[in-house]
Structure 1
Amino acid sequence: MRNAKLSVMEKIGFGMGDAGNNMTFAAVVMYLSYFYTDVYGISPAIVGTIFISMRFVDAITDPLMGALADRTRSRWGRFRPYILFVPVPLAASCVLMFTTPDWSESAKIGYAFATYFAMSLLYTAVNIPYCALGGVITDDHRERVSFQSWRFILVGVAYLILNSSLMPLVELLGGGDETQGFQYTMAIMSVIALAMFGFCFATVRERIQPPPKQQEKLTATLKALAKNEKWRIILGITFLQALQFFLRQGAAIYFATYVLGLGATGISVFVTSGVVGKIAGTAISSWCSNRISKRSVFLASTCALIFASVMLYLVPGSWVLMATVLFVIVNFLHGIGTPISWALMADAEDYGEWKTGTRNTGVSFAGNLFFLKLGLAFSGGMIGYLLAWGGYQAGAEQQSADALNAISLLLTLIPAAISAVLAIAIWFFGLDDRTMDAIRRDLDIRKRDNDATDTDAKTSPATGSAFS
């Protein structure tokens, strides 16, 4: 059954997969840089080189992993086997990455490169099949928003668990030794992640299969994707959505510390409030898109996000409560659009199958994942360059007016400008719910015709009776 109304259990199960991803990868995003510089003891320049070098590797490994997943045939489907088997070595690599061997400096750098490289490859081998799985659970484009909403609600919960517990666990388990504390804590997080992946595998099913006569050559796959203009647009949407989000996330701590002048508790409340706002926006995304075309909801929430970001820039730093409320609103509006953007990826894949007769879910989602990673990499570079342009001084009790303005721009007006371009891309994407309903009907007719043709061929006199 292709057009399936999913149970709440299956929606939760799908969300558990990405929650499992983020129980480990979120720790990498938020804490690995600190671990490398302050605990492991390697220079920030080397750390930056390690992170950037993997983006070049991703440009090769992401599409190859997508192609491999598309061509996988097993009793569990094309994508689910990777969610069952790969998380085990991924968990081990995460623990090893937060382990500190007492070696020479050059050997330690080599170890950091090797373990980060292994973790990144294994993360790709899990995350691309997982994201592609979201394109084959059901062909109901409204249900796609619903289960993607569950996904990002559970991701938000994973972030809250990680943020609230990681450093206290490091202190508790390490007994003052952060090297031991990080290793033991990541072991616990990895075990939790394995349970989440297992739950995802057990509860989610693949229902959409590629056309039976589809070509399997990678060159044919890439040519088919190149003809899909909606996929090209969704790559831009993915990049812009990620870029504005990671810029805001990266600038939030600087903004809370220097613009609002908050202490440790206040900073934690400010950042956590943004996470809660995003979860709330994600939770109502499906409700909104069931009443209005999801493309219209995405466009409206993006435009509202632009306005709220501009208002946040205009609020004085002394208005802490108002700034926090606006920060929550911005994240709430971003949360509304996040599940829809992932649902649109699957819509673009349906459109590609309708236009070209081929379905290449793994490679298609691999492209989106790569552009999301590009957004993450560009955001890190922009934060560094803008802070340097403003004369930011690390560790200073007070920053210059130029530095404070640079921080405010990174949190507000620059993401707003990027979101304006994002709104234009959403407009040109063009696939609203009515269009997707028509495409879905056409694909179902083609499938019935193909099935009827195959049945006739099997029962024709030339090939022998099916009942002989």
Structure 2
Amino acid sequence: MQKGRISIVEKIGFGMGDAGNNMTFAAVVMYLSYFYTDVYGISPAVVGTIFLSMRFVDAVTDPIMGAIADRTRSRWGRFRPWILFIPVPLAVACVLMFTTPDWSDQGKIIYAFVTYAVMSLLYTAVNIPYCALGGVVTSDHRERVSCQSWRFVLVGVAYLILNSSLMPLVEWFGEGDQARGFQITMGLMCVIALFMFGFCFATVRERVQPVENTSNGLIKDLKTLAANPKWRQVLAITFLQAFQFFLRQGAAIYYATWVLGLGAAGISIFVTSGVLGGMAGTAISPLLTRHSTKLRVFILSSIALVAACVALYFVSGDQVILAAIVVLVINICHGIGTPIAWAFMADAEDYGEWQSGYRNTGVSFAGNLFFLKLGLAAAGGLVGFMLSMGGYVGGADAQEPQALTMIVLLFTLIPALVSVLMTLAGWRFGLDDAEMDRIRHDLEARAGDRSSPNSDETDRTGPSGTARPATT
């Protein structure tokens, strides 16, 4: 395992990879539900079913993709080749997903299922290797926070590009035809994404190598990971953080349209203010972790997130500026915690290697990404089902009070409750910086012992004086 700081260029390159992901993925999170209900013309209940159904497929495909990535051998490494070859078909699938065929209602539902499924599978094939890449660019857990911070700042840039321009471009390209406008606009966004993926591939390197070649079967990989308590706890953090975030993102356009009464330009400004808050939070996250532990910063920012979501519930629909300010604060708090949560994933992988002697980065991050997508699906499904329960009617001139109540709950109190659980999960995770320093030192000593003539006489003492297992 190698030490050393990562250059700014490489951090930007790493962030560009997820910026490319989110030029398409953010459109799915922010606009696909609205596109399906108000443009494509299918019911919210069907939309919720589409989002949830794919997660059963992900339960199988995600760990398989992680295992494939772990076993990939190329001159570019294990994970970078996927960032080179998969984005092109992913871009095509995304454009097809935002295409409205002139078919029967049943045919359109089948088309939506198929295109969403293909996009999800291709997204898995590029995003699991990308996320795993974050665990092997450096072994320094503090540099990981910095690297993830750059990542989410650039994700914020992607969100800014998307949210500030998507609806105006839809209107401009569509000339009154939103279906045509969405299709052309998403084609443009996908072209931008391809350049971002290319920059990531060209600038990022894989440095942390597994202690030994991965030759175990997938079942043994999963059993090894399941025995790692820190990995299980990170899965809970990942799910809950994704769930509260995607709930707010999925409900945002409905909240801005029906509660605040904003038009296309107003919606872009409102959503953009939230994106700027997220970018600010991710930018200051590494600064805060220099003066306090990652764990403490994560817990305190999560508590602040809960308080801000509850406060937003009491802001009335005619207080647009105040609502925008509170949303800004919510996203700052979320932005602070996000790069730390992703650093926790790599920390849990280090803990697992220290515990078992095996490093299964691809499968480990596949599990995290599956729980992230499970959070997305749960959020998308809940948005669809609650809108349906509230009697939401897509394309209507007005909504019933019960539908408005559901929108407000989805944007405020429900994310607050989920964030309470996220705070508790962070507290339960419990790996602080001092312990991670000891784990890293022990892993480096083990690697040195492995290369020495007396490698069988390795130190069996881990952090805090606890005995660690022998490497098999």
User: Could you tell me how far 1:258 is from its partner in structure 2?
Assistant: 4.1
User: Could you tell me how far 1:455 is from its partner in structure 2?
Assistant: 9.5
Corresponding residue for residue 331 of structure 2: 331
CA deviation map 1:84-116 (0-9, x unaligned): 111122222223333445556655554443333
CA distance in 1, matches of 2:297, 2:99: 45
State the identity as a percent: 68
Q: Which residue identity does 1:287 align to in structure 2?
A: L
Corresponding residue for residue 459 of structure 1: none
Q: Which residue identity does 2:398 align to in structure 1?
A: E
The answer to whether the 8 A contact 2:99-2:183 is kept is yes
**3-state DSSP of counterpart to 2:58:** helix
TM-score by length of 2: 0.89
User: Could you tell me how far 1:73 is from its partner in structure 2?
Assistant: 1.1
1:169 aligns with 2:163: no
* Greater alpha carbon shift after TM alignment, 119-128 vs 84-93: 84-93
* Greater alpha carbon shift after TM alignment, 172-181 vs 328-337: 172-181
Q: Which residue identity does 1:440 align to in structure 2?
A: R
CA distance in 2, matches of 1:406, 1:173: 32
User: Could you tell me how far 1:390 is from its partner in structure 2?
Assistant: 5.1
User: Could you tell me how far 1:275 is from its partner in structure 2?
Assistant: 1.2
Corresponding residue for residue 22 of structure 1: 22
Q: Which residue identity does 2:423 align to in structure 1?
A: A
CA distance in 2, matches of 1:310, 1:108: 39
User: Could you tell me how far 1:446 is from its partner in structure 2?
Assistant: 0.3
Corresponding residue for residue 304 of structure 2: 304
- What are the equivalent positions in structure 2 for 1:14-93 lying under 5 Å apart? 14-36=14-36, 39-40=39-40, 46-93=46-93
User: Could you tell me how far 1:42 is from its partner in structure 2?
Assistant: 5.3
The answer to whether the 8 A contact 1:2-1:139 is kept is yes
User: Could you tell me how far 1:212 is from its partner in structure 2?
Assistant: 1.7
User: Could you tell me how far 1:244 is from its partner in structure 2?
Assistant: 1.2
Structure with the greater alpha carbon radius of gyration:
1
Q: Which residue identity does 1:188 align to in structure 2?
A: L
Pick closer, same or farther for the CA change 1:417–1:29 going to 2, 3 Å: closer
Q: Which residue identity does 2:277 align to in structure 1?
A: G
Corresponding residue for residue 377 of structure 2: 377
CA distance in 1, matches of 2:170, 2:354: 51
CA distance in 2, matches of 1:406, 1:100: 28
Corresponding residue for residue 460 of structure 1: none
User: Could you tell me how far 1:351 is from its partner in structure 2?
Assistant: 0.3
- What are the equivalent positions in structure 2 for 1:149-168 lying under 5 Å apart? 149-168=149-168
* Greater alpha carbon shift after TM alignment, 92-101 vs 362-371: 92-101
**3-state DSSP of counterpart to 1:65:** helix
The answer to whether the 8 A contact 1:71-1:216 is kept is no
The answer to whether the 8 A contact 1:173-1:184 is kept is yes
Q: Which residue identity does 2:206 align to in structure 1?
A: E
Corresponding residue for residue 140 of structure 1: 140
- What are the equivalent positions in structure 2 for 1:67-216 lying under 5 Å apart? 67-102=67-102, 108-212=108-212, 214-216=214-216
Pick closer, same or farther for the CA change 1:57–1:228 going to 2, 3 Å: same
User: Could you tell me how far 1:46 is from its partner in structure 2?
Assistant: 4.7
CA distance in 1, matches of 2:3, 2:262: 50
Corresponding residue for residue 441 of structure 1: 441
The answer to whether the 8 A contact 1:258-1:399 is kept is no
* Greater alpha carbon shift after TM alignment, 296-305 vs 245-254: 245-254
User: Could you tell me how far 1:287 is from its partner in structure 2?
Assistant: 0.8
* Greater alpha carbon shift after TM alignment, 259-268 vs 11-20: 259-268
The answer to whether the 8 A contact 1:313-1:408 is kept is yes
Pick closer, same or farther for the CA change 1:213–1:23 going to 2, 3 Å: closer
CA deviation map 1:335-354 (0-9, x unaligned): 10011000100000000000
**3-state DSSP of counterpart to 2:135:** coil
CA deviation map 1:224-253 (0-9, x unaligned): 101100000000001111111122222333
User: Could you tell me how far 1:34 is from its partner in structure 2?
Assistant: 4.3
User: Could you tell me how far 1:418 is from its partner in structure 2?
Assistant: 1.6
Corresponding residue for residue 10 of structure 1: 10
Q: Which residue identity does 1:128 align to in structure 2?
A: I
**3-state DSSP of counterpart to 1:241:** helix
Corresponding residue for residue 466 of structure 1: none
1:224 aligns with 2:224: yes
Pick closer, same or farther for the CA change 1:330–1:32 going to 2, 3 Å: closer
* Greater alpha carbon shift after TM alignment, 313-322 vs 431-440: 313-322
Alignment gaps of 5+ in structure 1: 457-468
The answer to whether the 8 A contact 1:211-1:358 is kept is yes
1:397 aligns with 2:393: no
- What are the equivalent positions in structure 2 for 1:265-414 lying under 5 Å apart? 265-388=265-388, 395=396, 397=398, 399-400=400-401, 403-414=403-414
The answer to whether the 8 A contact 1:214-1:357 is kept is no
CA distance in 2, matches of 1:178, 1:259: 22
Q: Which residue identity does 2:281 align to in structure 1?
A: G
The answer to whether the 8 A contact 1:83-1:197 is kept is yes
Alignment gaps of 5+ in structure 2: 457-472
**3-state DSSP of counterpart to 2:73:** coil
User: Could you tell me how far 1:425 is from its partner in structure 2?
Assistant: 1.0
The answer to whether the 8 A contact 1:270-1:324 is kept is yes
